[in-house]
Amino acid sequence: MGASFLALLTFLLVVSNVQCNPNYGEALAKSLLFFQGQRSGRLPQDQQIKWRSNSALYDGHQANVDLSGGYYDAGDNVKFNFPMAFTTTMLSWGTIEYGKRMGPHIKEARVAIRWATDYLLKCATSTPGKLYVGVGDPNVDHKCWERPEDMDTARTVYWVSSKNPGSDVAAETAAALAAASIVFRKVDPTYSKMLLRTAQNVYQFALQYQGSYSDSLGSAACPFYCSYSGFKDELLWGAAWLFRATNGVKYYNLVKSLGFDDQPDIFSWDNKYAGAHVLLSRRALLNGDKNFDQYKQEAENFICKILPNNPSSSTQYTQGGLMYKLPDSNLQYVTSITYLLTTYSKYMAARKHTFNCGNVVVTPNTIRSVAKRQVDYILGENPLRMSYMVGFGPNFPKRIHHRGSSLPSVAAHPQSLGCQGGFDPFYHSSNPNPNILVGAIVGGPNQNDGFPDDRSDYSHSEPTTYINGAIVGPLAYFAGIP
């Protein structure tokens, strides 16, 4: 045990280029502000990101419904509900677990969640038998470089139904609405009940008409947000959230009937198994409920695959100490996995629980140190001294792959910029973006800790809602620790 533990300790010391802690409270505030930059629809009076204006006000008209609102997923102008719902679930989970540590920012967290849930409710209730799952043709949109305010591309409406099922997107929508219902339970009981009722209906639809939305939607979902892991993980995740929200035997039985399942070493908008295991393990750890020991074991197996320097680890780390999973938008995996690490360490600490990865004893502090290292790296403690959160610290990405940020605002340039209007001189320019999308976390550095800060390099320079949605919890966790 000694040698392995020392190796882990050495790793943590080597990578934590000892510095003052970043200002987690400031990072938390900015991570939430980012969502205002991604808003679709009619902007409210208190909008703080002023270079954005109203956009896509007539979304849904093609199908004679109002689907305005919600969020653009990344640097484009499409509303993809699959990642949007996951973002909402993660924002809600972060607020449930860490709301008390958010201080005044809990109000902003609720506003960010509600901007999504208001839209998801419309998608779920506008037409009986249909769940709307996206607006905007991604294949057409991705050929354009234009502000959301100028959009002149087809706002095609996509949906799933009993004939064209989408259990993955439906169950994720149910998870988002169920998680949000817990957030609003005390502050807006009426809204909370509506969220929960809708979550139950949407989950029933996911369960009754099983199939993948990728098969139903084809090129509107793939390769953008293809459900590569299938839909069983979402069915488990949705049932786990409905069980958390209702404590109902029905959902407990569903969770159990979905049985033993994959144990991946990743957690993302596509693959929810690890998240469901950590969520369900809470009952075993905090309530001592033996019926949930299976999920505790699965959560710990997952963490062993993540932690460095133990026999079960399957996770690569860069020389600078960043978890490295996949080349495209690696920080999405870092923030989602870091969320699970902080949350599991919090559950462990509450019960002074430890476990083993092979011959290495894992304490709450072991996990917390790895999680903190990831957050600190993102906020600037890395070989480039680059903060990967826009507007945080002295050195951050200036040329992010984001249409609204890279093009002059409507106030600065009132003339419309059509589909091709933004490429020259803006997209191809080496100048910094004219508008700072404060709080946006980009895809991040490569496996050698390098970052070119190049607008056209979208796999590293594009921000996404789900990167930010997952880091809100860990930022609140570290902001609230004295």
The set of catalytic residues is: 401
For 460-477, letters b (16+ CB in 10 Å) and e give bbbbbbbbbbbbbbbbbb
- Any idea what DSSP says for residue 290? G
Q: How many residues does the chain have?
A: 482
Query: What residues contact 326, with CB distance under 8 A and at least 6 apart?
Result: 333
CA distance 230 to 135: 22
From 396, 435, 381, select the one nearest 413 (Cα to Cα): 435
CA distance 476 to 112: 15
The β-bridge partners of 324 are 316
CA distance 454 to 450: 12
Structure tokens at 183: 């957030």
CA distance 467 to 71: 14
Kind plus residue range of the DSSP H or E element containing 356: strand 355-357
Query: What residues contact 295, with CB distance under 8 A and at least 6 apart?
Result: 276, 277, 278, 280, 281, 283, 284
Using the structure block, give the residue that is written with the tokens 């796999």: 459
Count other Cβ atoms within 10 Å, centred on residue 225. Answer: 27
CA distance 267 to 450: 24
Backbone angles phi, psi at 176, to 5 degrees: -60, -45
- Residue 321 to residues 27, 318, 351, 462: CA-CA distances in angstroms? 20, 5, 29, 22
CA distance 230 to 226: 9
Instruction: Provide the Cα torsion 66, 58, 145, 464; round to 10°.
Output: -20
Inter-helix orientation angle 364-378/2-15, to 10°: 20
Burial of 218 (C-beta count, 10 Å sphere; 0-12/13-18/19+) = exposed
CB 69 within 8 A of CB 98: no
One-letter amino acid at 286 equals L
Cα 421 to its chain centre, rounded Å, is 31
Count Cα neighbours of 73 within 13 Å in the Cβ-side half-sphere. Answer: 20
Helix (H, G, I), strand (E, B) or coil at 157: strand
